[in-house]
A and B are shown apart, each in its own frame.
Chain A
Amino acid sequence: MIACVLIPRFALTTAAGDRSELLRGPVALAPGVGGSGSTQQVGEVSLAAEAFGIHPGMRLGEALSRCPELALIPPDPAGVDDLWERRLLRLESIGAAVEPERPGLVCFDARGLLRLHGGLDGVLRAARGALRVPVRLGLAPTRYAAVAAATRARVRRPEIVGRSADGRVIGRSTAGGTLGRSTAGGTLGRSTADGALGRPTAGGALGRPTAGGRALARDYLAPLPVALLRARPALAELPEALERLGVATLGELAALPAEAVADRFGRLGLVAHDLARGGDTPLRPRTPGEVLRESLELPEATSGLQLERGLGLLVDRLLARRERRARTLRAVVISVTLVERGGTWRTRVVFREALADPVRMRLALTPHLARIPAPAERLGLAVERFGPAAADQRALLQDPADARASRLREAIRQVRAAAGPDAALRVLEVDPDSRFPERRAVLAPFEA
């Protein structure tokens, strides 16, 4: 049984911060850049903005023409990521192996936590208690159905697929034991060996839903509108086309022959068809990571040399942390809070090789400060990925030919990192004596 936790308008409320009174009126996160990179779009929108027909992903110009008094809040990607990470850590603290879908939406498998928290209701209570904010909870045999259930849940009443309003389990209990035995309290009970609540597979990835679980998810999804497919970003454009063709619900989509859907919509159509029929890909929980972060409040709006000195200080502080345990750093994130409520800015920097040398780290990080769009009032540096304790053991005496080849490989890596994978190529003779010039040589990636 997959549990889904939904915090509605997470990015919008985070960016609004202490200006929560704004959320009562029409307000949207903007400007954001659309998928093509050339259009400006609105992000999450408030309820009042939705009443004007504004939805996330709408072009900014269209949103403003629909509602001229629409207030715009600049996105706060660093703040959203930080807060979301804290929420995920809290959820992981109750034992949940989480798979975050996007900020504000996360799924985890509730089966392994049933005994720990005394049944499904206990798991939900624990999740709610850990997050300490109003959340909507959905439970279903598949991830997609759980997300659909969470969107229909209320803050105080979780939506559980397979349980009636009076708490009884109404799922079709198959030989495989779809929902297992229902207990006196009406919770979803003991999981069976291969039922919808069954065990994770041996490989660690959680298995696909069983036939009983699929049927339950399919029955639940059938009356829901095809607009729910927008929960999967890759399928965001399908609902409009389906509605134009008269396919209004997921049940109607599921009833169509798979070949017909494939003919019309291709691979994405088949994905949507499988979801509507109760299928889904297995849950892939993230590997809980370590958080090592340092930040610096800047007394005055700062840029340029002062910011560089601040960054140097943060590098030293990070390297001095005992939790680092002498490991090198592979990737870090620089985050900045801009002045005058100008939002936040962040960038991820992957070092060419794992580093523990503060001088080399400063050399690699400092050029990124020039891209900050405004003076900063807070500067942060966090480790995203650690490297091994001894990253690159060099030989005492190195063969000159090996050293030259190694330098060449490194140069090619750098050229490709800067100018793309096509930056270093070589002409390879295939049939040099051919009478047709196009058969004589090909251009292939350069391998040192």
Chain B
Amino acid sequence: MSGPRRLALPIRIAVRADDRGRPLVVGERSVAAVRESWLVEDRWWTASPLRRRYWEVVTDDGRNEVVFRDLRSGRWWRQRG
């Protein structure tokens, strides 16, 4: 190991969402319920600000997943932690 390694790095995932951005399918699984949603903004004073809309969802096989949409690039990511 060359040096410290970050934990809980986001991983790209395919998400289908409705018009309001609410996830309908995460990966291959349908979303059964949305538990929570929140917006995180940071580093807005820099040239590369972070803007993420997080969703904590329960899929139809009972898994708890946390996904977010990068509001700058429009891409979806899955994150643990």
Contacts and interface: CB of A to CB of B under 8 A. Distances in A.
A28 to B, nearest CB: 39
A442 B7 contact: yes
Contact of B80 (A425, A437, A439): A437
Contacts of A427: 7
B37 interface: no
Given A421-B1, A425-B1, A445-B1, A438 B42 contact: no
A335 to B, nearest CB: 34
Interface residues of A, number: 16
Nearest to A422: B1
A436 B40 CA distance: 8
A183 B50 CA distance: 78
A260 interface: no
A437 B4 contact: no
Interface of A: 421-422, 425, 427-428, 435-445
Contacts of A436: 40, 42, 50, 52
Contact of B8 (A422, A428, A438, A445): A438
Contacts of A428: 4
Closest 7 pairs (CB-CB, A-B):
A437-B81, A442-B4, A437-B8, A444-B4, A443-B5, A422-B1, A441-B7
Contacts of B6: 438-439, 441-443
A438 B5 CA distance: 10
13 contacts: A425-B1, A427-B7, A437-B8, A438-B9, A438-B10, A438-B81, A440-B8, A441-B8, A442-B5, A442-B7, A443-B1, A444-B3, A444-B4
Given A437-B81, A443-B6, 8 more contacts: A421-B1, A428-B4, A436-B50, A437-B8, A440-B81, A441-B7, A442-B5, A443-B1
Contacts of A437: 7-8, 79-81
A315 B1 CA distance: 36
Contact of B7 (A421, A435, A438, A445): A438
Nearest to A441: B7
Contacts of B10: 438
Contacts of B3: 444
Interface residues of B, number: 16
Contacts of B7: 427, 437-438, 440-443
A432 to B, nearest CB: 11
Interface in B11-62: 40, 42, 50, 52
Give the most central of B7, B40, B52: most A CB within 10 Å.
Answer: B7
A422 B2 CA distance: 9
A147 to B, nearest CB: 34
A63 to B, nearest CB: 39
A35 B56 CA distance: 48
Contacts of A425: 1
A435 B4 contact: no
A425 to B, nearest CB: 7
A435 B42 contact: yes
A443 B8 CA distance: 10
Contacts of A421: 1
A443 B1 CA distance: 10
A435 B40 contact: yes
B81 to A, nearest CB: 3
Nearest to B40: A435
Contacts of B42: 435-436
A28 B7 CA distance: 51
Contacts of B8: 437-438, 440-441
Contacts of A439: 6
Contact of B4 (A422, A440, A443): A443
B75 to A, nearest CB: 15
Give the most central of B3, B5, B6: most A CB within 10 Å.
Answer: B6
Nearest to B52: A436
A301 B34 CA distance: 72
Contacts of A442: 4-7
